[in-house]
Amino acid sequence: MPDSNAKRQALEQFATFINPQKVRVLKAAGLDIIEAERSGPWVWDVDGAKFLDCFTSAGSFNVGRRNPRVVAAAHAAVDHLDQGNFLLCSQAKAELAAKLAEITPGELSCTMFGSGGGEAIDFAIKLARGSSGRPGIVSAVNGYHGHTGFALSAAGRASFRQPFEPLMPGFVRVPFGDLDALSAAVDEHTAAVLLEPIQGEGGIVMPPPGYLAGVRAACDRAGALLILDEIQTGLGRTGRWWASEHDGVVPDVMAIAKSLGGSLVPISATVFTEELREFLIPNPFIHLSTFGGSDLACAVALEVIAVIEETGLVEHAAAMGERLFAGLHAIAAARPEVITEVRGRGLMAGIQYAEDSLGPRMSYHLARHGVLAIYSGNLPSVMRLMPTLVIEEEEVDFLLAALEEAIEDLVSGAGPEAAAPTRPRRRPVRAAGWAAS
């Protein structure tokens, strides 16, 4: 039942007890959505408005929102499990780790669990430094790996790091896609190179052909590890289980999170080789996480993987991605003044707009047409489209139609109407601008 009072109250409480500026910005952008019902690729605002979710919490809902099988697995787990004692061995953890060894490539076979992506990256970096005895970490400009300590030190966006400096020493950033720059930065002091196979927050930036293979080779030459952050790109998002498969590259360490929790529970996994596990043999308690890989979360994650496998979701994502990209390219060709490039793979698409302000403005217009889509934080001129992988043809077509209509509204100059002033103007009476503005 739509309830505008509930929305007002939620926004007021959020502003009072969490952050008023977040409410102000989202309201102004037409994104003051209080999620109520959620199902498959759709979400409903508490006031009844329906949206095709193309943000999906930055790619966290691959199996759809409240997937019935995953919800049932969660119910069943709650009936007889809880989070479990993190210090003890656990059947649920063991089963999920075995499954991850099966679905990840190459010699990746051992897992450390966490509760979020940043924690997974933190452990990956600890493992790289601990096992190699080297301090250096090379990451990419505009890369995004989370907001925890080591992960933040690797972040490619200065504004995320600067208020908290000094951060961890030993971190170097190079332009993504520039193999010469990366090769020059990797040496005998480098513990690991940390990259996303496709930059997500950075604006759906594709690796140039051969880049990731070249990075792998540079790591091998220097004896450095390759850590791939598949947190947004993994679990079928790009039409393969892992985005790095497109490039035929196998990392030494892979970070997985977001969709592993099936939109229901927090869980992340750092998967690595048996050779790297040697560091943990004499140090079995050196990295601990109270909620990392809780028994409940592991049960849910196992069902998420089963859904992806048994429903052919990876292949489905590839097919829906083809339809999506065909439509996006057609719209881009018809609207070159608005869209200058479309890029991505599978159901990870980036629309490059002609200038920065079009990202926020198109988020506003798309929401008016029933699509929830957010621009890239590190590159506001890019709209990220990362719908659930359970999206069907008619929903892809809905998205494309909404995009065309939103562009129409944009070029016609539509936008939020200024609210009527509720208090006397401050501007002195002699000025004549009030009515005009």
Partner 1 sequence: MADWEELAEALADYMISCNSNERLRKMQRDWSRTLHFVCSDNGTTFSMEVERGEILSTPEGHVGIPDIVVSTHSETFCDMFWGDLNPVQKYLRGEITVRGSQEDVMRLDAISAVIWPDA
Q: Which stretch binds partner 1 (CB under 8 A): 116-124, 172-180, 391-399, 429-437?
A: 429-437
Tell me how many residues contact partner 1 (CB under 8 A): 37
133 forms part of the interface with partner 1 (CB under 8 A): no
CA angle 390, 391, 396 (to 5 degrees): 165
Give me the least distance between CB of 153 and partner 1, in Å please. Answer: 19
Reading the block at residue 380, the tokens are: 């506001």
Site for partner 1 (CB under 8 A): which residue of 20, 45, 169, 306?
20
- Please state, in angstroms and rounded to a whole number, the distance separating the CA atoms of residues 225 and 235: 22
Pick the binder of partner 1 from 82, 274, 392, 434 (CB under 8 A).
434
CB of 204 to partner 1, least distance (A): 16
Query: What CA–CA distance (Å, rounded) separates 174 from 192?
Result: 13
Residue 270: helix, strand or coil by DSSP?
strand
Query: In which element (H, E) is residue 399 found?
Result: helix 393-411
Other residues' Cβ atoms within 10 Å of the Cβ of residue 359:
23
Cβ nearer to partner 1, comparing 29 with 103 = 29
Based on the shown chain and the rule CB under 8 A, indicate whether residue 429 belongs to the binding site for partner 1: no
Binding string, 315-354, against partner 1, x = CB under 8 A?
Answer: ----------------------------------------
Subset of residues 361 to 420 that bind partner 1, contact rule: CB under 8 A: 361, 364, 377, 380, 410, 413-419
Q: Smaller CB distance to partner 1: residue 13 or 357?
A: 357
18 binds partner 1 (CB under 8 A): no
Q: Which listed range, 1-9, 105-113, 303-311, 425-433, lies at the site for partner 1 (CB under 8 A)? A: 425-433
Task: Pick the piece of the chain touching partner 1 (CB under 8 A) from 19-27, 102-110, 211-219, 239-247.
Answer: 19-27
Nearer to partner 1, 126 or 157 (CB): 157
Q: Which of 1, 87, 88, 162 binds partner 1 (CB under 8 A)?
A: 162
- Using CB under 8 A, which of 1, 18, 21, 169 touches partner 1? 21
Residues 224/170, Cβ–Cβ less than 8 Å? no
Q: Does 221 bind partner 1 (CB under 8 A)?
A: no
Stretch that binds partner 1, among 4-12, 141-149, 159-167, 178-186 (CB under 8 A): 159-167
Residue type, 285: F
Closest C-alpha to 224, from 191, 248, 259: 191
Phi–psi pair at 43, nearest 5 degrees:
-140, 145
Secondary structure, 3-state, 217-243: HHHHHHCCEEEEECCCCCCCCCCCCCH
CB-based contact 111:292 (threshold 8 Å): no
Token reading at 103: 């679905």
Question: ∠ CA(284), CA(287), CA(292), 5° rounding?
Answer: 110
Using CB under 8 A as the criterion, what x/- string covers residues 27-66 for binding partner 1? Answer: -xxx------------------------------------
Instruction: Using the minimum distance from each CB to partner 1, give the nearer residue, 75 or 426.
Output: 426
Length of the chain: 437
Sheet holding 371-372, edge to edge: 35-39, 42-45, 50-53, 371-372
Distance CA 360, CA 373 (A): 10
Sign of the alpha-carbon dihedral angle for 357, 360, 364, 370: positive
Residues that bind partner 1 (CB under 8 A): 20-21, 24-25, 28-30, 159, 162-163, 356-357, 360-361, 364, 377, 380, 410, 413-419, 421-423, 425-428, 431, 433-434, 436-437
